Amino acid sequence: MTVQQSACLRAALQVGYAWLERGSSALLAVEQTIRVLERSGLFNAGKGSKLQLDGMRRMDASIMEGHQLRAGAVASVEGIIHPITAARLVMERTPHVLLVGPSAGRFARHFRLESQRPARKLRRYSLESVLRRYGESHGHGTVGAVALDQTGTVAAGASTGGIEVMLPGRVGDTPIIGCGVYADNETGAVSMTGWGESIIRLAVAKTICEQLEDGKGPATAARRVLHRLVTRINGSAGCLVLTPDRRFAIHHSTSHMMAGWWGGKGEPTVRDRFQ
């Protein structure tokens, strides 16, 4: 973790907390926290999203709140800085949950979301080279957040530029509700990062919530599900888990994961390892 990244994480935590302190919803706090990270260009989301093999930047994001189980998401969206806001708008301004591709971009432009240059020069790639290189890097730097507000509602969000080696059109776990994020006031809020193909196959965010429902604490729930991810399908992931009664866990099956938390006192805690 660079000094800039750790300063940015602290700033993002403070921004999110300030919204909560003013009585805003967990949903808004999650969105605003993620916007700081998307705007920074320091992570694989928003401005910092990796270019895919054909030279395009395609992003995924989702957001969910635990009171009414409302959710919104965008996938493979191009040309905007804040996919997390596009996801919130899908949730709040449409009857849908997920919009994809150029149509999601048009939707974002309709709401005048800030734009960024969609692509550099288009690059050539071959299907064979993608398949050969797939697995070289399962992606780093997706951003996410969970929050609990004064009404006892939890929310979760995530935003990513995806993984480096992937076919154009590939969508990971981040915009899939129940995989990349889940939030339910009866269990908790979960935000995931990691190898999306493995996270999808175990519907990890929802599965962690089911463990919470069964009475497991957040640390045990996260540890059990990530252990299963590794042992059953050789997957890899990291998660943030927060319950409505303020219990919290950060867990990862990878060697490192940059993350932090803040409850408003002292300085935010930011580390890149939580085992």
Smallest distance from the beta carbon of 251 to ligand ASP, in angstroms? 14
The region of 33-41, 75-83, 134-142, 260-268 touching ligand ASP under the rule CB under 6 A is: 134-142
Q: Which 31-90 residues touch ligand ASP, going by CB under 6 A?
A: 44
Catalogue the active-site residues: 142
What's the closest the beta carbon of residue 73 comes to ligand ASP, in angstroms?
Answer: 13
Provide long-range contacts, Cβ within 8 A and 24+ apart, for 110-115. Answer: 111/85, 111/86, 113/80, 113/81, 113/82, 113/85, 113/86, 113/89, 114/80, 114/81, 114/82, 115/79, 115/80, 115/81
CB of 270: closest distance to ligand ASP in angstroms? 18
Angle among Cα 209, 255, 138 to the nearest 5 degrees reads 75
Q: Any contact of residue 140 with ligand ASP (CB under 6 A)?
A: yes
SS3 159: strand
Angle of the 101-110 helix axis to the 83-93 helix axis, nearest 10? 80
**Is 29:148 a contact under the CB 8 Å cutoff?**
no
Identity of the residue, 134 or 261, whose beta carbon is nearer to ligand ASP in the bound complex: 134
C-beta of residue 62 within 8 angstroms of C-beta of residue 171 = no
Residues in region 162-191 near ligand ASP by CB under 6 A: 162-163, 172-174
Query: Residue 40 or residue 174: which is nearer to ligand ASP going by CB?
Result: 174
User: Which range of residues in 19-27, 33-41, 85-93, 140-148 is near ligand ASP by CB under 6 A?
Assistant: 140-148
Contact residues for ligand ASP, defined by CB under 6 A: 44, 139-142, 160, 162-163, 172-174, 193-196
